[in-house]
């Protein structure tokens, strides 16, 4: 009977995963600048008939390992090249992650209701939904880390499964290394060693399974790296190991994020709408692993600490970098909620967190309503039809009211059931606004307009932000105008024109140049008007389409 209930729960989570991660994934085209980078790489691998070397702009590129590109190529073979195909495997891994969280919690807490709540929380948190619906390496990478830690903990809690657990740990870690790099083994290994050290049980690792596991890890993770080093030498090692790993430790790619508080705050707000429960859960975590004999509390603490301590010293910071800790945050929040609902001593604290969440929802509704009125003129320039705003506010009001009602009557689990649908409900307006928002986040419409109306036989000049998207959607050569610019953090093999003379020299070599610029480039274009004729052809979203040609001498 227990086994049947677990199967039922897993099936429910998988059905919900379809609606949370897959449904409507093809509505919005692939976005600038990152989704088109990954999809464009897989697309060019198909063009070059390559399964091992990633290509972009017809040249090998080494910013990320190969696993995601394999998944994209397979999806393109099955579904055809497009946005749904590109987002298919991130969604698949998001669903796998939800089931893995359920199984981890079931092993750790031995409580199917708490395990189910863990799966629901991670599934419905904002960043998890976002990364499950976009093309990034982070979802796949984080799920492999989750699977590696699940395998270890399963083997640790069930001594008869120790060998299998250790072997599966190294298998999953090997694929994590193929997904994003060496951190795929270092992050889970640091968490495990810290856990065993606190438990004074490092001898757990001393077994033949460790040697066989290391062999499996080597066989899975290293061949592609060895092939790239052998084939490309310093070009690969410099770009992948130094520029994309060591340099990010020493230098900030996004300087505004390089603060001590960026990750502590991010790990809370990115779990919206469960942020308050996560915050209180983290505070109570220390008491739990000191007070209770169950090893799960210490393990969760080591898991979160390992991710935080690895990425906090790095100057290059993004929320997605700490995403591998989010499954642990989901389990911490679920334990906090469930124990609070079951234990009178913790009940007051849990409902305090619930009331904070209610207050946040009320403030958000007031802010959205006031903003839609005060900035109605500004909003109408981007969203001419008002009914999507009314739908959004109406849904926000209904779900917030339901949550408030259940919270006020101390119906905590029902309140959580409402909360789980909060982010998907907000996303439900996308089909009504996609035609308005897409021009501001994707280059598809601009590229389609160019190709439908003009004959392009040479290089398109773009602003830096649009280069990857224009390349992906037109398959034409591109050059970048960025005055004054510092180039891409990871260099691209395309002309980078960061002063007037370089731009003028480029334009002289083409009889006609079609350009896709940001609005800020208008002054740069005007400075060139003494030597060149220019015409603004169309404005599509945030993209300004120009045609520039050398002025004919009279």
Sheet bearing 460-462, strands edge to edge: 496-497, 478-481, 460-462, 513-517, 543-550, 532-540
Q: What is the pTM of this model?
A: 0.94
**Does residue 434 have a pLDDT over 80?**
yes
β-strand partners of 60: 55
pLDDT exceeds 90 at position 427:
no
- Measured between alpha carbons, how far is residue 394 from residues 195, 359, 367, 372 in Å? 47, 18, 14, 13
Confidence grade of residue 211 (pLDDT, cut at 50, 70, 90): very high
- Percentage of residues in the chain with pLDDT exceeding 70? 98
* Nearest CA among 345, 98, 62, 450 for reference residue 224: 62
- Residue range 414-431: average pLDDT? 86
- Rounded CA gap, 468 and 37, in Å? 6
Token look-up 């049947």 returns 4
Total length of the chain: 554
Categorize the per-residue pLDDT at 486 as very low, low, confident or very high, splitting at 50, 70 and 90: confident
* Mean pLDDT in residue range 218-245: 94
SS3 at position 253? coil
Confidence at residue 378, expressed as pLDDT on a 0 to 100 scale:
77
Q: What is the C-alpha separation between 272 and 324, in angstroms, rounded?
A: 16
Residue 291 predicted with pLDDT over 70 = no
Examine the pLDDT at 536 and tell me if it is beyond 60. yes
pLDDT of residue 379: 77
Q: Report the Cα 428 to chain-centroid distance in Å.
A: 20
Give dist(CA 208, CA 270) in Å, integer.
41
pLDDT exceeds 70 at position 41: yes
Which of 512 and 411 is assigned the larger pLDDT?
512
Q: Which of 82-86, 179-183, 323-327, 430-434 has the lowest mean pLDDT?
A: 430-434
pLDDT at 236 over 90: yes
Measure CA 106 to chain center: 26
Structure tokens at 514: 């079609």
Q: Is the pLDDT of residue 80 over 60?
A: yes
From 146, 164, 161, select the one nearest 104 (Cα to Cα): 146
Burial, 298: exposed, middle or buried (Cβ in 10 Å; 0-12, 13-18, 19+)?
buried
DSSP string, 57-103: TTEE--SS-SHHHHHHHHHHHHH-SSHHHHHHHHHHHHHHHHHHHHH
The CA-based dihedral angle spanning residues 340, 342, 343, 349, taken in that order and rounded to the nearest 10 degrees: 20
Model confidence at 287: pLDDT above 80: no
Rounded to the nearest 5 degrees, what angle is found at the Cα of 167, between the Cα atoms of 164 and 170?
150
Scanning the structure block, which residue is given the tokens 């749904």? Answer: 84
Smallest Cα–Cα separation from 101: which of 183, 168, 9? 9
> What pLDDT was estimated at residue 504?
92
Question: Could you tell me if residue 181 is left (phi over 0), alpha (psi between -120 and 50 degrees) or otherwise beta?
Answer: left
Token pair, residue 403, equals 């949550």
Q: At what angle are helices 275-291 and 326-342 packed, to 10 degrees?
A: 80
pLDDT higher than threshold 60 for residue 554: no
Rounded mean pLDDT, 438-454: 94
Per-residue confidence (pLDDT) for residue 345, from 0 to 100 = 65
Asked whether the predicted pLDDT for residue 553 surpasses 80, the reply is no
Confidence (pLDDT) at 284 = 85
Is residue 1 scored above 60 in pLDDT? no
Task: With a cut of 80, say whether residue 292 has pLDDT above it.
Answer: no
Q: Where are the domains of the chain?
A: 2-342, 350-433, 443-550
Mean pLDDT of the chain: 91
The 3-state DSSP composition of the chain as helix, strand, coil percent (nearest 5) reads 70, 5, 25
- 59 φ/ψ angles, rounded to the nearest 5 degrees: -130, 150
Tell me, what's the pLDDT at 290? 65
Q: pLDDT tens for residues 122-178?
A: 999 999 999 999 999 999 999 999 999 999 999 999 989 999 999 999 999 999 999
Tokens coding 97: 């992650």
- Position 431 scores a pLDDT of 80
Given pLDDT bands bounded at 50, 70 and 90, which one contains residue 298? very high
């Amino acid at each position: 009977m227990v086994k049947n209930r677990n199967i039922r729960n897993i099936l429910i989570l998988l059905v919900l995963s379809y609606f949370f991660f897959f449904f409507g994934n093809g509505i919005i085209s692939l976005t600038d600048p990152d989704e088109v980078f990954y999809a464009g790489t897989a697309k060019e691998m198909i063009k070059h008939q390559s399964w091992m070397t990633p290509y972009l702009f017809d040249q090998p590129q080494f910013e990320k390992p190969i696993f995601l590109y394999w998944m994209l190529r397979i999806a393109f073979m099955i579904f055809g090249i497009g946005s749904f195909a590109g987002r298919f495997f991130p969604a698949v891994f998001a669903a796998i992650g939800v089931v893995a969280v359920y199984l981890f919690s079931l092993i750790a807490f031995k409580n199917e209701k708490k395990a189910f709540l863990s799966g629901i929380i991670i599934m419905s948190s904002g960043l998890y939904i976002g990364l499950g619906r976009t093309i990034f390496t982070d979802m796949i990478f984080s799920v492999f880390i989750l699977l590696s830690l699940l395998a270890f903990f399963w083997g640790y809690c069930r001594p008869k499964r120790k060998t299998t657990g250790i072997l599966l740990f190294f298998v999953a870690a090997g694929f994590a290394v193929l997904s994003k790099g060496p951190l795929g083994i270092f992050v889970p290994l640091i968490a495990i060693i810290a856990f065993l050290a606190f438990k004074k049980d490092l001898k757990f690792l001393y077994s033949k399974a460790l040697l066989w596991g290391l062999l499996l890890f080597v066989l899975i993770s290293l061949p592609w790296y060895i092939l790239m080093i052998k084939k490309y030498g310093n070009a690969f090692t410099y770009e992948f190991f130094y520029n994309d790993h060591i340099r990010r430790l020493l230098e900030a790619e996004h300087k505004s994020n390089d603060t001590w508080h960026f990750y502590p705050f991010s790990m809370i707000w990115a779990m919206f709408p469960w942020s308050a429960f996560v915050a209180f859960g983290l505070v109570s975590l220390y008491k739990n692993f000191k007070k209770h004999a169950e090893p799960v509390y210490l393990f969760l603490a080591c898991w979160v600490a390992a991710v935080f301590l690895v990425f906090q010293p790095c100057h290059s910071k993004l929320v997605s970098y700490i995403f591998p800790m989010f499954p642990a945050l989901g389990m911490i929040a679920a334990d906090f909620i469930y124990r609070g609902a079951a234990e009178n001593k913790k009940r007051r604290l849990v409902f305090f967190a619930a009331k904070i969440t209610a207050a946040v929802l009320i403030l958000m509704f007031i802010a959205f309503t006031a903003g839609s009125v005060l900035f109605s003129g500004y909003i109408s320039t981007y969203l001419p039809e008002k009914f999507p705003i009314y739908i959004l506010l109406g849904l926000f009001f209904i779900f917030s009211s339901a949550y408030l009602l259940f919270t006020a009557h101390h119906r905590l689990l029902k309140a959580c059931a409402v909360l789980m649908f909060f982010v998907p409900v907000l996303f439900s307006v996308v089909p009504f606004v996609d035609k308005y928002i897409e021009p501001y986040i994707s280059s598809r419409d601009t590229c389609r307009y160019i190709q439908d109306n003009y004959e392009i036989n040479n290089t398109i000049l773009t602003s830096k932000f649009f280069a990857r998207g224009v390349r992906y959607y037109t398959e034409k050569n591109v050059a970048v105008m960025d005055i004054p610019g510092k180039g891409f953090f990871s260099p691209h093999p395309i002309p980078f024109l960061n002063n007037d003379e370089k731009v003028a020299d480029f334009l002289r070599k083409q009889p006609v140049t079609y350009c896709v610029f940001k609005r800020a480039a208008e002054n740069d274009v005007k400075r060139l008007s003494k030597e060149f004729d220019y015409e603004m052809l169309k404005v599509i979203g945030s993209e300004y389409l120009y045609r520039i040609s050398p002025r004919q001498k009279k």
